[in-house]
Amino acid sequence: MNSFAGELSVDQLTACLLLQRGLNSFEDARHFFRPSLDDLHDPFLMKDMDKAVERLTKAVHQSEKILVYGDYDVDGTTAVTMMFSFLKKLGVSCEYYIPDRYTEGYGFSFAGVEYARDNGIRLIITLDCGIKDGEKIAYAKTFGIDVIVCDHHNPGEIPNASAVLDPKRQDCSYPFDGLSGCGVGFKLIQAFCQQQSIDEDFFLEYLDLLTISIGADIVPIIDENRILAYHGLQLLTASPRAGIAAMLEGASVKKKELNITDVVFILAPRINAAGRIFSGKQAVELLLSENIEDAKKLSPALEENNQTRKLLDKEITSEALEKIQIDEFYQSSFTSVVAGKTWHKGVVGIVASRLIEVYYKPTIVLVDDGEKMSGSARSIDGIDLYDVLGECAEHLIQYGGHTMAAGLSLKSENFLSFRKKFDDVVRNHLNHKLPEPFIIYDAEVLFEELTPQFWRRLKQFAPFGPGNMKPVFMVKNVVNARYTRQVGETKTHLKLHVCQRQNPDFAMEGIGFDLGKWASIIEGGQEVDLLFTLEENEWNNRITLQLSVKDIRLSADVQAES
């Protein structure tokens, strides 16, 4: 490691973080720290891309009417906005269609096909859906309507469409299978422009939308996604489109530079709230706004939907927790599978994530209409939801999704049998040992290593996300420096001002959410170890480094004494 650090002219801590990410040469580090659009993969390496471009070219040259069809979540609505805008820019006659979450459900729908039939559509491009909708694609063919599928979910049998773009196809040799649904649509646009000799500036304006999809859909921010997100964040910061600017203003965000965390916690929830509470079309309409005045008229509706979503989230989570607490099944279960008749379908995925925070078990939350249940599943490390649901397929009407998140439906009468089967399968996958949540740290450090120079290098590791998470550090033998205390209205959070026993002259501040119980222990003089990430704190126009504390334990020598 010393030679690697010397080759790069960086400190050993930075070299260690690079090696942990599989970057062990100067060239690897250069590509990592300087993501270049020149390093994007050739889109024609994707299976069926030649067919997709050929069919799209025919539609453009023959002035066929195109329907852009996308899912109602962030990935789908950003993809629809991108593709629709691109086709309009080409002068193509086109419309967009977002299915209704409640009447049509997830994916390509029969209603969407019939809309296309009734409106003279000759070609449908599906985005973030379609890979498991062979029946609907066949239905479209009966009306002479062709379909190009742009999807990134795990495929079953490949549908008989004009082209099926999905890097997760087993017969697809594309170098990177972690694209979002919007990302697959972007590769189609890139391939079309490449084949038509259209300059890349013609389509790079959509990198902001693509970056929002990358952040919201929790896809790995490595390889191609890192390049796309890096440049997309620059575009979001320097020149946000009207709809994005209006959302940021509505959320009172006045940051000089946006990051993936802002995408995930500020933009994505508001875009998602449209499809969860009202209609995904609301989000597309805002994102398509051509000026800030129009956008400001539309953005309050998304803000209101987001507030409604928060209230429903809190209410349903409380009811779901109560169901788990009073049902003996969950006392020994390896999973949480709950259903409610009055629950709002738009927030069950969020509720599933909340329940995992409490119980750390694979979780499914369903809405029961009396005949059918449908809802969302979320997983934990070590459990591939798509595979597990596949083993339970005899109890399901349909399912689809990813390793960590999925959607499903089943007959209400099959709830108990499905719940037991799902639990048995997960139990076997976990070898009958229920895991506990854990945090993996990247390196043990001393406070004096966390210099401004190191922080400048660490910032270049961004954008962070799956595959390149924000580094977590451990520091040992930490003691109170001056004013560690409980903070917040309910005194549940922790404000730290601490140093290491061996170097009391180097103190740092930090914040630990829901860690307020440690205040009396640290104030009482006991030594602790911290797990934390680094972040900037701006106060009175002064920027300082602070610890974002994730977990605390008593130091080893303290534990030994007790």
Q: What are the tens digits of pLDDT across the range 363-381?
A: 999 999 999 999 999 999 9
Q: What is the pLDDT of residue 256?
A: 83
Backbone angles phi, psi at 463, to 5 degrees: -75, 140
Q: What is the pLDDT of residue 1?
A: 64
Q: What is the pLDDT of residue 471?
A: 97
Give the β-pairing of 542-554 and 528-539: antiparallel
Domain edge (last residue) among 376, 399, 429: 429
Q: What is the pLDDT of residue 280?
A: 92
Domain edge (last residue) among 198, 227, 256: 198
Same domain, 166 and 59: yes
Does residue 224 surpass a pLDDT of 80?
yes
Q: What is the pLDDT of residue 88?
A: 97
Residues 543-552 have pLDDT tens digits of 789 999 999 9
Same domain, 412 and 523: no
Owning domain of residue 14: 2-31
Q: What is the pLDDT of residue 9?
A: 86
User: Is residue 124 a part of any domain in this protein?
Assistant: yes
Q: pLDDT band for 556, please (50, 70, 90 cuts).
A: confident
Residue that the structure tokens 């300059």 belong to: 199
User: Is residue 345 a part of any domain in this protein?
Assistant: yes
Check if the beta carbon of residue 309 is closer than 8 Å to that of residue 332.
no
> What does the block give as tokens for 462?
């961004």
Helix, strand, coil percent content, the chain, rounded in steps of 5: 45, 20, 35
Q: What is the pLDDT of residue 561?
A: 52
Name every residue whose Cβ is closer than 8 Å to that of residue 485 and which is 6 or more positions away in sequence: 494, 495, 519, 523
Same domain, 23 and 158: no
User: Is residue 320 a part of any domain in this protein?
Assistant: no
Name every residue whose Cβ is closer than 8 Å to that of residue 548 and which is 6 or more positions away in sequence: 510, 511, 512, 532, 533, 534, 535
State the total domains in the chain. Answer: 4
The predicted model gives 130-134 an average pLDDT of 94
Same domain, 55 and 156: yes
Does residue 559 surpass a pLDDT of 70?
no
Domain CATH for 542: 2.40.50.460
The predicted model gives 461-470 an average pLDDT of 94
Does residue 402 surpass a pLDDT of 90?
no
Same domain, 534 and 472: yes
Check if the beta carbon of residue 80 is closer than 8 Å to that of residue 98.
yes
Q: pLDDT band for 558, please (50, 70, 90 cuts).
A: low
CA angle centred on 271, ends 266 and 275, rounded to 5°: 140
Same domain, 69 and 24: no
For the chain, the C-alpha Rg in angstroms (whole number) is 25
The chain-wide mean pLDDT, for the chain, equals 94
Does residue 538 surpass a pLDDT of 80?
no
The predicted model gives 154-160 an average pLDDT of 92
Does residue 562 surpass a pLDDT of 80?
no
Q: pLDDT band for 107, please (50, 70, 90 cuts).
A: confident
Alpha carbon distance 126, 262 (integer Å) = 28
Same domain, 403 and 483: no
What's the first-to-final CA gap in the chain, in angstroms? 38
Alpha carbon distance 259, 405 (integer Å) = 23
User: How far from 83 is each of 124, 421, 480, CA to CA, in Å?
Assistant: 11, 41, 55
Q: What is the pLDDT of residue 400?
A: 85
User: Is residue 55 a part of any domain in this protein?
Assistant: yes
Domain CATH for 372: 3.10.310.30
Q: 552 vs 562, which has greater pLDDT? A: 552
The predicted model gives 544-561 an average pLDDT of 83
Same domain, 423 and 452: no
User: Is residue 231 a part of any domain in this protein?
Assistant: no
Q: pLDDT band for 328, please (50, 70, 90 cuts).
A: very high
Same domain, 344 and 416: yes
Q: What is the pLDDT of residue 368?
A: 95
> Which H helix or E strand runs over 350?
helix 348-359
Same domain, 475 and 415: no
The predicted model gives 414-425 an average pLDDT of 97
Q: Is the dihedral of CA 330, 332, 333, 336 positive or negative?
A: positive
Query: For residue 254, which amino acid is it?
Result: K
Check if the beta carbon of residue 184 is closer than 8 Å to that of residue 150.
yes
Backbone angles phi, psi at 336, to 5 degrees: -125, 120
Long-range CB contact pairs, 99-107, < 8 A, 24+: 99/69, 99/71, 99/72, 99/280, 100/72, 100/279, 101/72, 101/275, 101/276, 101/280, 101/345, 101/346, 102/345, 105/374, 105/409, 106/71, 106/400, 106/407, 107/71, 107/132, 107/133, 107/136, 107/400
Q: 104 vs 478, which has greater pLDDT? A: 478
Alpha carbon distance 427, 422 (integer Å) = 8
Check if the beta carbon of residue 274 is closer than 8 Å to that of residue 302.
yes
Domain edge (last residue) among 182, 198, 214: 198
Same domain, 484 and 359: no
Q: pLDDT band for 277, please (50, 70, 90 cuts).
A: confident
User: Is residue 224 a part of any domain in this protein?
Assistant: no
User: Is residue 259 a part of any domain in this protein?
Assistant: no
Check if the beta carbon of residue 552 is closer than 8 Å to that of residue 528.
yes
Same domain, 460 and 551: yes
